Chain A
């Protein structure tokens, strides 16, 4: 029923290979329906997901980002997700200080057995981002190159 003018959020999901990717796979094989706004990028482990990738996603036009992996104690590499969790805490702190809209980054644990949790996660995130609207604030700045030579006043 969506009209052509309704905002469809673009969402990039960075997921670990062992839990969330398998979980998302289960969502599909279980024939659970969920929003199609998400593009999945598979990583070996949440510990491998560089924080700059999240910023790159916004610069390239994403309105929201999902980062998801194994539940604590379930990491295929024992502690990758614990390291990732620490990094997320730090990353949220610095992004919040810089005034980046951290509501647009959704972190989650989704196991290989949680197909329905993945569907809920995506649906909820899409709804949240839809309510927030496009991340134009970030995208506008990302397009900017020093054309004028001197700094323009903001």
Chain B
């Protein structure tokens, strides 16, 4: 790991050289009143004044819908063609928030905890993350309560901390980051002794993970789930904007004798998610599904995968049509 300084002009040149290298670059773009990651060609397209993109960067390593393999039926026989990792292009994610980059760890923990997930890993290998530390936050943000921080470098290949002069402190964190620097080394100047912490938003922790975890261990039969979930309308908005939610469905797309098997996003909040063919549903009520969401992130994942399933990005709270605020709910569980 190495720390450098990059000037505002240098950053623009470097961005151009990344584009020129042929890699796909995704960055937050403000369009239709929303800021979201989009394919960009110019730095001028990148959004400036916002707290958080609506969607996370999850889709870069876990697409909304992806072909697992294709097949062709031929007189009772079937020919399979496997997913080819070579089809995944090199991708650079520009201006990722630390809470998003931190989401790669829990996501990969789910996909690889037992057997390796070829598709997810293929995306991961081809994806480089250039994160920008956070100088701003809103009342939905709580990364500091879930092992994160506005300057957390986990999951980033390079982290930039923007300075008042428009330049930035550049922390080069991984070989992938070094490879990006190597596209235009001269713009990375010797560091000037800037203190990164000075430029980060101050975000006090709101609860202690250990405390929450301890409370949740005994909370399965608590009435809190019913109380908190009464207004939940059971959509999948929270899960789909979440950087770590990984529940999926496997479906078939058929056209005549040809077909493809598709993995697509699903959500534990949907009523039919766990429905058996027999009609029996182990998570029949919204309260049970809300409990699953919280326990999975804050109890099951820490216990089994040694990683908390929440990065404190606050997206679910912002996206929820009925104001199911995760920070509010977790804080109230911690206080019980």
Contact between A and B in the complex (any CB pair below 8 Å): yes
A interface vs B, CB < 8 Å? 60, 145-153
| Given A152-B39, A153-B39, A146-B65 contact (CB < 8 Å) | yes
B51 to chain A, nearest CB (A): 20
Residue of A nearest to B37 (CB): A150
Residue numbers of B with Cβ under 8 A of A are 26, 36-39, 59-67, 123, 253, 255, 262
- Evaluate contact between B65 and A150: CB separation under 8 angstroms: no
Return the 5 tightest CB-CB contacts between A and B, nearest first: A149-B63, A149-B59, A146-B65, A146-B64, A149-B60
Q: How far is A149 from B265 in the complex, measured between Cα atoms in Å?
A: 11
Out of A60, A148, A152, A153, name the residue touching B63 (CB < 8 Å).
A148
User: Cβ of B59 and Cβ of A145 under 8 Å apart?
Assistant: no
Return 29 A-B CB contacts under 8 Å, by A number: A60-B255, A145-B67, A145-B253, A145-B262, A146-B59, A146-B63, A146-B64, A146-B65, A146-B66, A147-B66, A147-B67, A148-B39, A148-B63, A149-B59, A149-B60, A149-B62, A149-B63, A149-B64, A149-B123, A150-B38, A150-B39, A150-B59, A150-B60, A151-B36, A151-B38, A152-B38, A152-B39, A153-B38, A153-B39
Min CB–CB distance A148 → chain B (angstroms) = 7
**Which among B26, B255, B262 is the interface contact of A150 at CB below 8 angstroms?**
B26
A153 to B38, CA, bound (A): 7
Bound-complex Cα distance A153 to B63 (A): 16
A150 to B92, CA, bound (A): 12
Minimal beta-carbon separation of A126 from chain B (angstroms): 24
Q: How many Å lie between the Cα of A29 and that of B7 in the bound state? A: 83
Across-interface contacts of B37 in A (CB, < 8 A): 150
Contacts of A60 in B (CB 8 A): 255
Q: How far is the CA of A150 from the CA of B25 in the complex (A)?
A: 11
Contact call B65/A145, Cβ cutoff below 8 A: yes
Residues of chain A lying within 8 A (CB to CB) of residue B39: 148, 150, 152-153
**A59 nearest in chain B by CB position:** B255
CB distance from A95 to the nearest CB of B (A): 23
With both chains docked as a complex, state the minimum distance between the C-beta of B136 and any C-beta of chain A, in angstroms.
23
8 further A-B contacts with Cβ under 8 Å, apart from A150-B38, A150-B59, A151-B38, are A145-B65, A146-B65, A147-B67, A149-B60, A150-B39, A150-B60, A152-B38, A153-B38
